[in-house]
């Protein structure tokens, strides 16, 4: 996400509205004094929107602090990390009124106020409805907000999209529905070359490492046989010491004498914990070599960072917690965003930060991404349509270790969000998803309009089916979906037909299984992939987009 901000997409003029629950008063004061552009508003019993969060103690006790944690994912700023849009102005609306849930009576005025005040991106909560007239008014307001240029994002939960007694449904409205995914990560700390960008992972045997090192200069130091340094002064530097095998406590003491800010040892991880007078870091020999290479190039400034490093395990679709305490899969999301271990404000202390996991975190992540992409919009389509197409065209489906689609598209939509790719991609499709509906058997042809398949590029299509098919009689899981008698077959036109305006067109002939047991129904899904190649290199695609499809076969 940092790369996306550095691509020239500003976040300073962005306005985001979070319509959700109450925020503790101490959070409001602490964040305001820290310079955050976060404003608080409340909707009272008569539908008026008032500045400040006017909530009772009981409301605060009932609050889940969801809104402040969503704001943290967007705006968090520390010396070593930041939120997605740290320069944005964020308005938080307490739409829970005097109850434990948001209602149409409180959400409607909050939405109207957000649009009037220029919010470009708005997140909406799950809503309880008790008044048909207010429900219709809210639907009209959402449609009007889209025409005014606002992009609205909601969680792809059953409460939001399956019509049930007492719940407001966003189905059919111009919103972007967001599911979550969990990518296994391993906690890691590293030094990063300020100019080279090289990452050197480190560990520390110190019992506590509270020292907050900003960008530091690292010097190559040597500890001779007389327990002396080869350089007398290491003031304000971190010392890199290779091949050290003596007493670590003595080393730290000597380093402190020459006013070093810390020591890096190039050696195996020390087993026991140590009480460190100054920070002590341990890197492997390869990491030390990378540091020395930078020093030879007169680049000795390093940033100390920490976060998560991707593990080799595949990603999974995250389940959504329901008000009843159970968990459910997302309901037909447009896109998936990260929903686990997202850095945000601590709900108890706004000057600290913590990790947050939940579907609201995914909605906040997608909202920040949408806000960054908005300045790149072309004329001729609404902001919502542009953002949805940009995110879906450049998402990656979740696959297993064998490269097969691990979850059907009605659980993962277009797949995992990829913001940087959405900004840089030279390939796009006007069709972002295909819903074949109820097709008993037979075939159906879809024409897919593409940009980026003319001039210096050419394109090829391929089929990526889901390995799970859901039928009345149970789940069918296939090791190779291409070979099964139940699999969906797709054939493509051999060449891209070019239009006068430079667009390309390809047709996909989708054939549905015909050997389905009598009286059974089969839910199928998968992806149509488009690879974009440079004319000079047909071996490796420069871009790939995936178009999800789904349908129901049978009686």
φ/ψ region of 149 (left if φ > 0, alpha if ψ in -120 to 50, else beta) reads left
Is 539 exposed, middle or buried (CB count within 10 Å of its CB: 0-12, 13-18, 19+)?
exposed
State both tokens at 81: 């990390």
Which string of DSSP letters, residue by residue, matches 118-133?
Answer: T-SEEE---EE---HH
CATH architecture designation of domain 426-554: Sandwich (2.60)
Dist. CA 219–CA 261, nearest whole Å: 11
d(CA 14, CA 118): 9
Kindly report the pTM of this predicted structure.
Answer: 0.77
**Nearest Cα to Cα of residue 301 among 155, 203, 198, 394:** 198
pLDDT less than 50: residues of the chain: 1-8, 61
pLDDT number for residue 8: 46
Output 206-211 pairs: Cβ under 8 A, ≥24 positions apart: 206/273, 206/274, 206/275, 206/276, 206/279, 206/280, 207/273, 207/274, 207/275, 207/276, 209/276, 209/279, 211/261, 211/262, 211/278, 211/279
What is the pLDDT, as a whole number, of residue 38? 87
CA distance 230 to 348: 48
Helix (H, G, I), strand (E, B) or coil at 62: helix
- Which pLDDT score is estimated for 23? 76
pLDDT given for residue 330 in this prediction: 92
- 368's torsion region: left (phi>0), alpha (psi -120 to 50) or beta? alpha
> Residue 493 is encoded by which pair of tokens?
């036109």
At residue 359, the 3 state secondary structure works out as: helix
How far is the first Cα of the chain from the last one, in angstroms, to the nearest whole number?
Answer: 46
The confidence score (pLDDT) of residue 157 equals 93
Which pairing describes strands 335-338 and 176-182: parallel, antiparallel, or unpaired?
Answer: parallel
Calpha distance 263→255 (Å, rounded): 7
DSSP string, 453-481: SSTTEEEEEEEEEBSEEEETTEEEE-S-T
Q: What is the pLDDT of residue 225?
A: 56
- For residue 420, give the nearest of 372, 464, 466, 481 by alpha carbon: 372
**Domain boundaries defined on the chain:** 2-184+313-386, 186-306, 426-554
- 490 burial (CB, 10 Å; 0-12 / 13-18 / 19+) is buried
User: What pLDDT does 388 receive?
Assistant: 94
Classify strands 127-128 and 151-155 as parallel, antiparallel or unpaired. Answer: unpaired
Q: Give per-residue pLDDT as tens, 429-453.
A: 988 999 888 765 667 888 899 988 8
Whole-number Å distance between alpha carbons of 287 and 203: 12
The helices-and-strands tally (H runs, E runs) of the chain is: 13, 33
Residues 6+ apart with CB under 8 A from 79: 212, 214
pLDDT at 17: 96
Give the pLDDT score at 7. 46
The yes or no reply on domain 186-306 and CATH 3.50.30.30 is yes
Q: Which architecture does CATH list for 2-184+313-386? A: 3-Layer(aba) Sandwich (3.40)
């Amino acid at each position: 996400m940092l790369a996306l901000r550095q691509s020239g997409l500003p976040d300073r003029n962005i306005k985001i509205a979070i319509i959700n629950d109450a925020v503790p008063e101490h959070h409001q004061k602490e964040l305001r004094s820290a310079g955050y552009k976060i404003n608080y508003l409340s909707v009272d019993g008569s539908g008026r929107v008032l500045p400040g969060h006017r909530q009772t103690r009981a409301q605060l006790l009932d609050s889940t602090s969801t809104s402040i944690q969503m704001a943290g994912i967007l705006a968090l700023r520390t010396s070593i990390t930041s939120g997605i849009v740290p320069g944005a102005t964020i308005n938080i609306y307490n739409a829970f009124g005097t109850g434990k849930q948001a209602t149409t009576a409180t959400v409607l005025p909050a939405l109207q106020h957000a649009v009037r005040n220029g919010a470009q991106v708005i997140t909406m909560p799950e809503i309880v409805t008790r008044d048909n007239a207010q429900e219709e008014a809210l639907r009209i307001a959402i449609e009007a907000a889209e025409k005014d240029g606002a992009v609205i994002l909601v969680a792809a939960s059953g409460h939001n999209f399956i019509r049930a007694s007492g719940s407001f449904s966003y189905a059919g409205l111009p919103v972007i529905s967001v599911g979550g995914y969990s990518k296994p990560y391993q906690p890691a700390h590293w030094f990063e070359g300020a100019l080279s960008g090289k990452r050197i992972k480190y560990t520390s045997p110190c019992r506590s490492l509270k020292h907050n090192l900003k960008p530091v200069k690292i010097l190559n130091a040597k500890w001779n046989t007389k327990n002396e340094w080869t350089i007398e002064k290491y003031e304000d530097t971190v010392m890199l010491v290779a091949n050290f095998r003596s007493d670590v406590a003595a080393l730290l003491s000597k380093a402190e004498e020459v006013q070093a800010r810390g020591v890096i040892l190039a050696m195996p991880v020390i087993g026991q914990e140590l009480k460190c007078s100054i920070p002590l870091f341990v890197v492997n020999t390869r990491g030390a070599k990378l540091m020395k290479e930078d020093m030879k190039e007169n680049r000795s400034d390093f940033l100390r960072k920490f976060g998560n490093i991707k593990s080799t395990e595949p990603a999974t679709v995250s389940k959504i917690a329901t008000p009843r305490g159970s968990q459910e899969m997302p309901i037909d999301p447009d896109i998936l965003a990260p929903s686990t271990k997202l850095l945000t404000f601590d709900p108890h202390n706004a000057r600290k930060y913590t990790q947050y996991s939940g579907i609201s975190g995914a909605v906040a992540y997608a909202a920040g991404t949408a806000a960054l992409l908005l300045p790149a919009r072309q004329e001729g389509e609404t902001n919502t349509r542009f953002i949805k197409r940009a995110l879906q065209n450049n998402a990656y489906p979740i696959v297993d270790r064998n490269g097969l689609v691990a979850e059907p598209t009605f659980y993962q939509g277009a797949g995992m969000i990829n913001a940087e790719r959405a900004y840089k991609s030279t390939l796009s499709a006007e069709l972002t998803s295909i819903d074949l509906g109820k097709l008993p058997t037979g075939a159906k042809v879809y024409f897919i309009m593409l940009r980026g398949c003319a001039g210096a590029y050419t394109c090829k299509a391929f089929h990526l089916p889901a390995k799970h098919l859901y039928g009345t009689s149970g789940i069918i899981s296939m090791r190779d979906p291409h070979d099964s008698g139940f699999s969906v077959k797709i054939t493509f036109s051999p060449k891209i037909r070019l239009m006068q305006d430079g667009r390309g067109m390809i047709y996909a002939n989708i054939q549905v299984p015909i050997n389905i047991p009598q009286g059974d129904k089969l839910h199928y899904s998968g992806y149509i992939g488009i690879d974009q190649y440079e004319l000079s290199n047909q071996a490796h695609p420069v871009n790939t987009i995936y178009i999800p499809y789904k349908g129901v076969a049978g009686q």
